[in-house]
Structure 1
């Protein structure tokens, strides 16, 4: 199989950073040979000077696949990376099944809307990270589009419960950088409480010098271990988002639960595939500052119950967020797209008859 993504080369992982993408080992164990073809750089590809979406178009890479990878079993790609391949697949008699991976939602960006519509209509399957996106994609792009939800995963070895020997969990922590986050809701809920709050985000937040005297915003560029330490020293983690089409906040939610921290999340429909039972995760309505304030106070005033909730969250993460579970689902999807060996059709190169 061939992987085409919009970004540049994966620099790999190590003990000092999470390794979510145990892609090749898991899929190879399932019987797939993996080849990742990264986008060309300038001057052969004008995209690197702009957004990753333009980088992914890369006509030269697409032609390389159409000419030299015609017998691949699966081509997995972001919509932009798949577009030219999909538009020309019949002309080049491409045998590969094409899977569009992780739809990017940008309703206000017409370029991406057009790319998604063209790609989804032609793909053999498209993968989303939230089941709410299946109906949205069919309404917006193609009523008959084959879509499947495969929830994402987290590196449970990197994000695990940790003790801070020099300090005890002592603050409310929230983080995130995408437009779907609702930090004003958290600020409203914490106004005047006098509880220590740390928010890690980009743009400067409107902090009231009086009502938010104990709220701090972190602008530092942190290493992965230092970022993980912010979770470890958090007494409560809060993930507040608007009701979004994409799974805004999903990474922070999984990281907090994997770290075993007592966590509060707003009831964003895009995140519901990742919600633990009520005894392991506190869920409040989107936009409801009073409910969020009550949940924060309840967990703050009952630390032993909160820590027990965090331990149950970690157990839930181990059962549901493991990379091996995620990539087994990916492998099962790929296999379902291939013709069975008994169908009298030659299986494309890149899939083994006897995995393992």
Structure 2
């Protein structure tokens, strides 16, 4: 039996029991964050590292809880598990630091670390910072990431051996996104509003300026941007036909269900920003227009499962939207094709099982 510990940082460790309850109540989109528990089997036991109720009471404030988690509990657990899986860049690098004790390292868990932002952030790093991170990365047994375009970047920037690297495509729980599940109309949405153009997410690589231009150019269409970030909820936009709202899972299903299409305008990035929105739209059988960033063509087949447009090209985006809005049959074909193409490929189950396979490989288990 391979014992796996999943470490997703302080916030998840503090609230993992709450997540389990919210999944039962249809409030979150997977059994546990990123679905790593889907790798549980007769051969592998996956546990999420958490703070239990007694630990929360003893270490009664955030400062004490963080100190205990990172400096006491986590180092001890490195001797309990066979493998540690991490999802966030900072956690992967921190555990690599903990494993920097030569005499003890051979008794510690192996490490599989997912990196999302590192390649894109590295362009602003100094030579010395890249050198230090490179040392940490070289101690990790397997580095995973979402886009094949990142492989050569890891080799060139951080001087890593290709054998240490593995592109594992991102996935979602498709069962969480279905019009057969509970849907609730967001309060800020007009009751009769349908066939709007939907955009979801406002991370740093979303091209919100391009979205604003599109809405301004297409005054006869309603655009909805879904974000939980106050910066964008309170921002002033060029046009009154761009509405910004926040939404929970049940409201997101409604938004996907009744939109004409989903658009994902992106700035250049290597980590396939927008792939979560892309897959959620596909799960709801909605056509997508997305910017042509590196790696995105693994997730979208142009003009078959979605429409790919050049980065920053307002006219191409506008034409693609009009094509979908004006030809509902074509939009439906793309949406159905997207569902068929993605629903067995890009899932949290596949994501978790690939981690299980890698774990057996680095432990030399047949």
Given the alignment, which residue of 301, 316, 319 partners 1:294?
Answer: 319
The match for 1:207 is 237
Matched, 1:150 2:149: no
Contact 1:237–1:256 (Cα < 8 Å) also in 2: yes
Contact 1:2 1:36 (C-alpha < 8 Å) held by counterparts: yes
Report deviation, 1:131: 1.4
User: 1:1-22 CA deviation, whole Å, 9 max, x = no partner?
Assistant: 2222224232222333210643
Query: Structure 1 residues 72-81 or 159-168, which shifts more?
Result: 159-168
Offset of 1:215 from its aligned partner? 1.9
What is the root-mean-square deviation of aligned Cα atoms in Å?
3.2
TM-superposed CA distance for 1:90, in Å, is 3.7
- Find the residue that maps to 1:319 and give its secondary structure: coil
Are 1:128 and 2:137 matched, yes or no? no
Corresponding position of 2:70: 58
Which stretch of structure 1 is more off in the superposition, 161-170 or 190-199? Answer: 161-170
CA contact under 8 A between 2:85 and 2:111: conserved in structure 1?
yes
Matched, 1:4 2:7: yes
Deviation at 1:178, TM superposition (A): 0.9
Tell me by how many angstroms 1:172 deviates: 0.2
1:42-94 alpha-carbon deviations (Å, 9 max, x no partner):
99799x56xxxx9899122343134x42xx32222331341233212543532
Aligned counterparts of 1:231 and 1:315: Cα–Cα separation in 2: 17
Q: How does 1:1-356 map to 2 (within 5 A)?
A: 1-7=4-10, 8-9=12-13, 10=16, 11-12=19-20, 13-14=23-24, 15-19=26-30, 21-24=34-37, 26-29=38-41, 31-38=43-50, 58-66=70-78, 68-69=79-80, 72-77=81-86, 78-88=91-101, 90-94=103-107, 96-105=109-118, 106-107=121-122, 108=124, 116-144=133-161, 146-161=164-179, 169-193=194-218, 194-201=220-227, 202=229, 203-204=231-232, 205-208=235-238, 212-218=239-245, 220=246, 222-340=247-365
| CA distance, structure 2, for counterparts of residue 84 and residue 56 of structure 1 | 17
The worse-fitting range, judged by mean Cα deviation, of 31-40 and 121-130 is 31-40
The structural deviation recorded for 1:333 is 1.3
Aligned residues: 328
Shift of 1:102: 3.0
Give, in angstroms, the shift of residue 174 of structure 1: 0.4
Shift of 1:130: 1.4
TM-score of the superposition, structure 2-length normalised?
0.78
CA distance in 2, matches of 1:131, 1:55: 36
Aligned to 2:188: none
- Tell me if structure 2 keeps the 8 A contact 1:185–1:289: yes
Name structure 1 gaps, 5 residues minimum: 342-356
State how far apart, in whole Å, the 1-side matches of 2:251 and 2:287 are.
19
Q: What is the CA–CA distance in structure 1 between the aligned matches of 2:254 and 2:133, rounded to whole Å?
A: 38
Native 8 Å contact 2:138 2:160 kept in 1 = no
